[in-house]
Chains A and B, each alone.
Chain A
Amino acid sequence: MNPYDLLIAPFTEFEFMRRALAGVFALALGAGPLGAFLMLRRMSLTGDAMAHAILPGAAIGFLFAGLNLYAMTAGGLVAGLVVAIGAGVVARATGMKEDASLAAFYLISLALGVLIVSLKGSNVDLLHVLFGTVLGIDDATLILIASITTLTLVTLAFIWRPLVLECVDPTFLASVSRTGGISHIAFLSLVVMNLVGGFHALGTLLSVGLMMLPAATARFFVRDLTALVMLATFIAFVAGAIGLLVSYHLGTPSGPSIILVAGLAYAGAVIFGPIGGLASRVMPRRHLEA
């Protein structure tokens, strides 16, 4: 098989592949910066919890309208925001740590979601909700994902400075501005929206993978925030494209294929990454003069 058939032909010959590629590229644009900030704010597992949390909303949408894009999106958004805000309110009102209250909320949410889906749908439907159908992205889904990405990038431009300040020096931010709380809520809302956009393509369980794995990979290569965000987005792009090709040629499910490609990149970074990678520790290079 020549390189054209291997890398290009699947996209030129099949419209569903082009849609899938456009979908994962749009998702990657939002997932790159959000994943970087989730990691830097030590909220990597929060993203995972939120991904589980949107399940019951999507399931209720599914219960009432079947595999309807808008019903499931609205349900997922409401469930995700309820869990994010509810966990935050419980944490602040009771003194319980936010990770513990979030864990409680998302576990209840996940159990509820699986229960609702299994009450009505078949196992195939449940698999659709859990793992997505990136090769079945239609125009409406593509527009939804692109809209969420656009909103994400615009909102991030508004809250970029307070987000950075709250990560690096929250006390300083509190002393010069009251935007910390608002930007935190806006950021969580963006995470929920992107997870909801992502679950149509990758499913609720895997959508967070496109955020976290590229960001964690990029951290092994760069020390600068802008570079981190750009590299994470690029890795998400590449993982999306290669994952789709793997899925096409090997007949594997597309969502897991994309995330596993990102996982391979992460494993490579853990071993060979110049900043803190295992190889750089085991085989240190000669020290510098200054």
Chain B
Amino acid sequence: MSAQISFRNLTLGYERHPAVHHLSGDVGEGALLAVCGSNGAGKSTLLKGICGALKPLGGAIDLHGVSPRDIAYLPQGAEIDRSFPIHVYDMVAMGLWRRAGLFGGIGRADRQRIADAIAAVGLEGFEARPIGTLSGGQMQRTLFARLLLQDARVILLDEPFTALDARTVSDLVDLVRRWHGEKRTVIAVLHDFDLVRANFPETLLLARTPVAWGPTSEALGSENLLKARRMGEAWREDAHACSDAA
């Protein structure tokens, strides 16, 4: 499996403070990778770095020819304004942005694709519902439908199953497995270790610096988890410049 995303001594952060510190490694093409760690471990920051929303403080991310247009990113739900007056159909149709852009029309084939995506996540009949009236699970299904339309080679999911019922999680995990079967690269930030062990063959355990990266059973071993818990957050106002910085 050739590398699709490579981290080279990567440091990402805010105002010079690292949130991901000195990460190196390769994500193979078609990988199904879970990123785990406690709050503040740098998981979401890593996804923002991969999709280009955050520039590295040090090191680099090599996408091996994958265009940013081929990366689909599902941010945490809290970043979406649920009060905005928009319907499920239009929200899903946003997934066509890369094809339609500012002015491109939505033709018959596109409308069929939107309908198929909505059906694939079990939201038939919800097309005209304002997103503000959806439950958390229905909203997440809507966002997965948008991801389906994006048809991306790399899919980044930030805590996609948080606070969802078991059936919704099961349905959405099936979609993730489908993407994996289609040889798309999927990287998901997750907190549920049981779900990770059952569905994700590879795991990166982060605690700002990488604690472990490899087969899930090894990465989530008790020794690594204990080590990750001990590392905790490390934001200090009086921190000195990193001696390993390039």
Contacts and interface: CB of A to CB of B under 8 A. Distances in A.
A168 B91 contact: yes
B193 interface: no
Interface string B44-79: 000000011100000000000000110111010001
Interface in A217-258: 222-225, 227-228
Interface residues of A, number: 24
Contacts, number: 64
A40 B101 CA distance: 22
Interface string A168-204: 1111101111010000000000000000000000000
B79 A175 contact: no
Given A171-B75, A224-B130, A165 B94 contact: yes
Contacts of B102: 158-159, 161-162, 179
Given A165-B94, A168-B91, A175-B71, A222 B51 contact: no
Question: What bracket does the count of chain B residues touching chain A fall in?
Answer: 20 to 34
A175 B158 CA distance: 13
A40 B82 CA distance: 11
Contact of A169 (B72, B94, B103): B94
B235 interface: no
Interface in A97-119: none
Contacts of B131: 168
B87 interface: yes
B97 A165 contact: yes
A167 interface: yes
Contacts of A176: 69, 97-98, 150
Contact of B86 (A159, A164, A174): A164
B85 A175 contact: no
A168 B86 contact: yes
B81 interface: yes
A225 B73 contact: no
Interface string B80-111: 11001111000100100110011100000000
A164 B91 CA distance: 10
A171 B78 CA distance: 11
A171 B132 contact: no
Given A172-B73, A174-B53, A175-B53, A167 B94 contact: no
A161 B79 CA distance: 18
The main secondary structure of chain A at its interface with chain B is helix
A224 B87 contact: yes
Interface in B166-194: none
B99 to A, nearest CB: 11
A169 B132 contact: no
A167 B81 contact: yes
Given A164-B86, A179-B102, A223-B130, A172 B81 contact: no
Nearest to B68: A175
A42 to B, nearest CB: 9
Given A161-B102, A176-B98, A168 B73 contact: no
Contacts of A179: 102
A228 B131 CA distance: 15
A179 B98 CA distance: 12
Interface of A: 40, 158-159, 161-162, 164-165, 167-172, 174-177, 179, 222-225, 227-228
Given A161-B101, A170-B79, 8 more contacts: A158-B103, A167-B81, A168-B91, A171-B53, A171-B73, A172-B75, A223-B130, A224-B87
Interface of B: 51-53, 68-69, 71-73, 75, 79-81, 84-87, 91, 94, 97-98, 101-103, 130-132, 146, 150
